[in-house]
Structure formats: structure tokens, C-alpha cells
Amino acid sequence: MVSNTGSNPTGDKYEAQSMADLKKYGGYIIAVILLALAGYFGWQYWQNRTVSVDTVAADEYAAVQELNDKVNLAKQNPDLEATALEADKAALAEQIDALVATHPNSVYAWQALVLKARQQADAEDYDGASTSLKQALSVANDDAGLKALTQLRYAATLLAAGKVDEALSEASHEVPNAFDATKQELLGDIYLTQGKQEDAIRAYENAWSLLIKREEERAILRLKIESLGVVPEQVPDKPELIASQASTVGSLVTEEVTPEQPVEIDASTVTVQSESTGEAETEEASEIQ
């Protein structure tokens, strides 16, 4: 066997050219690799940090909601010392402010501000409630449904605070179809405060006609209309609702109910069907007045 131990001029020349190219472009290649790695790990860090932030915000809001529930229960206890209740209210406001400061653009900040406004409205601090809702409005700008709900609540608190012209301006903004009835009812309240009875009747009737199409009854709105000397159209009963109620009543009659098995019916939450999202949304805008 004959081995070739001599050098290959062509191979040596190619290898020398390759080394020269590597030296020339090596820095660029390494930079590209480093950028790719930085992008990948940066993306991983951002994802992990986002999840972490959302988790922290959720935990902070859960604590806020727990304290809010405690305050609401304390309000119903006449034997509780006023100083203890005031301390819990102050702690709740402090927790909400801390959450909003830490996560200002999160949905948890919006929820916390709405809770704060509700507490302020319950205490008849409508100026404070309107300030909180105005801040919540800036958080809800990217969501049409949240923005509309906040806008209407904001207008309602302005009206309750006696700022009628500002309330009219805020209530006049366009809203998704699901909130039109609430908007028209609120406009009716504003017109009535201004002494414009005909405009109030027209707005109330607009709200009622929208509810008729949804086959939805609002007892308070009916009373408002009737108090102005107008008899509103009867809301048609839903056949499926009647059947469901009949079935429920029948089951309650035939089922044996013992003291250990009480039947409780919670009617504290009223919802409307959102035409913009297709989901049920809690309708509370008209309650903050």
C-alpha cells in the first residue's frame, strides 16, 4: 500500500481561505448567534415574568376581595364597633391603591377600582366614587364592554354628586348594543333631574322598548315610567322560562325538604345578555346613584 504523505496545494489553499473567511466573518456569526440566544431567552424571561406578574396581581386582588367581603359583612353587623369597621375600610383602600400602583394596566386594577368606587358610593362619597371610576375608565379603554360599563357607572356617580351637566356629557357617549337600555335609563334620570319631563319619558320609553325586544323586565324602570303617568307595555313572558319555573316549582313541591337541607334562592345578581360579546354580563350601572 502506498500512502500519500505529501501536501496538497489545492487543499492547503482552500483551508487557508476558510480560516481567513472565519476570521473575517467570525465576529458577525457569533453576534448573530448571541442575538438569537438573547432573543430566545429574553422571550422566555418575558413569558415567565408575565405569568409571574399575573399571578401576583391575581393574589393581590384575591386579598382585596376577601377584605371587601369582610367589610360588607361588617356593615350588616350592628354590634360591631365603628372603629373596627373604619379600620377595615382604611386597610381595604390602602390595599386597592397598592394593587393599582403596582399593576396599573391590569384587569385586576380595574376590578379593584370598581370595588373601591362601590364602597365610596355606599358611604355616599360620590365625588370619591367618580374619581375612582374615572381612573378605572383609563384602565378599561382597550375593552369596549368594560369601557361602556365603567362610563355609565361614572356618569351615574357624577349625577349622584350633583354634577348633572358632566353626567349628561359622560352618559352621551356611544356604547355597545348590550348597554343601550342602561344608557337610555340613565339619560332619563338626568333629564328628570334637569326638569325635562318629556325628554325623560322619551328616554325611559327608549330603554323599555329595548328591554321588550330582549324580553327583560326591570321593575325600577317600570316604576319610573309609571310615576310620570305613562303605562309601559307588558313584557312578554318567555315560554321556556315559564316551563323551567313550572318544573322547578313541581320539583320543590314533590321533594321532601328537611331542616338539614334548606332551599335557598339567591336573586342578588341580575344579568343581561351582551350582544357585543355573546356572554352574560352583570348589569349594575343603574344601581350607583
pLDDT digits (tens, 9 = 90+) for 173-194: 999 999 999 999 999 999 999 9
Dihedral sign, Cα of residue 203, residue 207, residue 212, residue 216: negative
Question: What DSSP designation does 236 have?
Answer: P
The pLDDT, as a whole number, for residue 18 is: 54
Indicate the length of the chain as a whole number: 289
Nearest CA among 135, 193, 207 for reference residue 159: 193
Q: Cell 350588616 maps to which residue? A: 76
Kindly state the average pLDDT of the residues 15-27. Answer: 53
What is the three-class DSSP state of 272? strand
Residue 109 near residue 79, CB atoms below 8 Å = no
The pLDDT, as a whole number, for residue 188 is: 96
Q: Is 52's pLDDT higher than 80? A: no
Residue 185 near residue 286, CB atoms below 8 Å = yes
Nearest CA among 118, 113, 85, 117 for reference residue 99: 113
Domain locations along the chain: 27-142, 143-243+277-289
What is the three-class DSSP state of 221? helix
pLDDT tens across 199-216, in order? 999 999 999 999 999 999
The pLDDT, as a whole number, for residue 11 is: 53
The pLDDT, as a whole number, for residue 267 is: 33
CA distance 129 to 88: 18
What does residue 282 show for φ and ψ, rounded to 5 degrees? -70, 130
Number of CB atoms found within 10 A of residue 139's CB: 24
Kindly state the average pLDDT of the residues 255-282. Answer: 36
Question: What DSSP designation does 234 have?
Answer: P
Q: Cell 349594575 maps to which residue? A: 284
CA distance 23 to 31: 13
Q: Is 220's pLDDT higher than 90? A: yes
Host H or E run for residue 278: none
Q: For residue 86, what pLDDT band results from cuts at 50, 70 and 90?
A: confident
Kindly state the average pLDDT of the residues 266-288. Answer: 38
The pLDDT, as a whole number, for residue 276 is: 38
Q: Is 17's pLDDT higher than 70? A: no
Lowest-confidence region among 18-32, 78-92, 158-172: 18-32
> CA-CA distances (angstroms) from residue 116 to 65, 94, 108, 123?
10, 10, 12, 11
The pLDDT, as a whole number, for residue 56 is: 83
Kindly state the average pLDDT of the residues 261-273. Answer: 34
Q: For residue 88, what pLDDT band results from cuts at 50, 70 and 90?
A: confident
What is the three-class DSSP state of 264? coil
Give the distance, in angstroms, between the CA of residue 73 and the centroid of all CA atoms in the same chain: 23
Hey, what's the cell of 120? 365610596
Q: Is 242's pLDDT higher than 50? A: no
The pLDDT, as a whole number, for residue 21 is: 53
Q: Is 240's pLDDT higher than 60? A: no
Q: Which residues of 212-222 are buried (b: 16+ CB within 10 A; e: fewer)?
A: beeebebeebb
Task: Given CATH 1.20.1600.10, say whether it is the number of domain 143-243+277-289.
Answer: no
Kindly state the average pLDDT of the residues 28-52. Answer: 46
